[in-house]
Structure 1
Amino acid sequence: MRKPLLALTAGAAAVVALASPAAAAPSGDTIVTFSIATADLNITVPASINLGSAFAGNSITGELGTVTVTDERAALAATWTVTVTSSSFVSGGGTPEETIPPNNVEYWSGAATATSGTGTFVPGQPTQADAVSLSVPRTAFSKTSGAGINSASWAPDIRITIPATAVGGSYSGVITHSVA
């Protein structure tokens, strides 16, 4: 009879070894995630401006009104650049005598009229002496450093040199500011 008792004891020991509880950990980690909502990078410009009148062979100068960039991307590197371009200014049928090309349009941004957020805001052309021809796209304003939500406003001016050969009439063109 000793054999069955020995077998029973060995079998019970095996069941006890298999059924022992796992050791509990002293701490545990839970990974938590969330998102910070971001908005867009936007620019607002005046809808239109009337510079008045001038004679052929002269120039006409005026302020365009306030341009504002609002950067709500909440970016770690919250930088942006505004580019400005000009179309031709045209009257009537757009013949050569009725067209003032973009190379006759000068632009200067002036200094910022308002800023918010951190970083460095840089005017493209701080003064009238820095005016540039819009014969090619130009940098109007930029933000070169900083993080988070920010904004900048400025009131740029343009000067249009009217060719001596230009005919009388009402001329219109488009100044375009783009931010990226």
Structure 2
Amino acid sequence: MRLRPLALVSGIALGSVVLTAPAADAADTTVTFTVTSGALTITAPAGPVSLGSAAAGGTVSGPIGAVTVTDARGGVPTSDWTARVSSTAFAGPSDTVPASAATYTPGPGTLITGNGTLTPGPGGTLDVQRVAMTYTGGTGNSQATWNPTISVNIPLSVGLGTYSGTVTHSVA
């Protein structure tokens, strides 16, 4: 008896069989939570922030870093807010530079969240509290940021040394 080699068999369809396990038992749980009113907050760099150096009679100027307002109050119909800024005098080793020698320029703001209008304040000296940024006409929560610049005209009469003051941002 002679053995023949196996021939290819055509026309046979090979398929796969999917075996499924019996359906598992299932149980649904309804989960709820409540969104509550949050706070209106403002953050600014803690510092110290150096504006550089200049001779008496000159000017130092520079950005102080991002200031951010977050309004999580969820106001309906609107959640308007106004950020304000002022400064103390700048004390040095032997003299003081008045806050009126410092000017604040808010620059353009960036609206991160919200559907209202963000408007920079006009800037000006920091011896009085002034508007830094406003947000109006929005509904719900909002968040905005800006990077202000502080310039200080150094009086010719002040002595040498490092001067320090505190710039305060507030929001309401």
Q: Same fold (TM over 0.5)?
A: yes
- 1:106-130 Cα offsets, whole Å, 9 max, x none, are 00100013431110111113xxxxx
Show CA shifts across 1:134-172 (max 9, x none). 121100001021110110000000100000001001100
What CA distance in whole angstroms lies between the structure 2 residues aligned with 1:105 and 1:146?
32
Which residue in 2 is equivalent to 1:141?
133
Partner of 1:103, secondary structure, is helix
- Rg comparison, structure with higher value: 1
Could you state the TM-score of these two structures normalised by the residue count of structure 1?
A: 0.73
Q: Is the CA contact (8 Å cut-off) linking 2:101 and 2:153 kept in structure 1?
A: yes
Q: Which residue of 1 aligns with 2:107?
A: 110
SS at match of 1:74: strand
2:46 alignment partner in structure 1? 47
Q: How far apart, CA to CA, are the structure 2 residues paired with 1:50 and 1:89?
A: 13
Q: Which residue of 1 aligns with 2:26?
A: none
Matching residue's letter, 1:66: A
Question: Cα RMSD (Å) of the superposition?
Answer: 1.5
Task: Give the structure with the higher percent strand.
Answer: 2
- Code of the aligned partner of 2:74: A
1:35, distance to aligned residue in structure 2 (A): 6.4
8 Å Cα contact 2:111/2:118 also seen in 1: no
Give, as a single letter, the amino acid of the residue that structure 1 aligns with 2:67.
V
- The answer to whether the aligner puts 1:156 opposite 2:148 as a matched pair is yes
What runs of 5+ residues in structure 2 fail to find an aligned partner? 1-32
> How many pairs are equivalent?
138
Q: CA deviation at 1:86?
A: 0.6
Q: Is the 8 Å Cα contact of residues 113 and 155 (structure 1) preserved in structure 2?
A: no
> In structure 1, what is the equivalent of residue 162 of structure 2?
170
Identity of aligned residues (%): 41
Q: Distance in 2 between matches of 1:119 and 1:144?
A: 5
After superposition, residues 1-180 of structure 1 pair within 5 angstroms as 36-48=35-47, 49-76=49-76, 77-92=78-93, 98-125=95-122, 131-180=123-172
Distance 1:59 1:123 in 2: 23
For 2:42, the aligned partner's letter is: I
Contact residue 38 and residue 72 of structure 1 kept, 8 A: yes
Q: Give the match's secondary structure for 1:38.
A: coil
Letter in 2 for 1:69: V
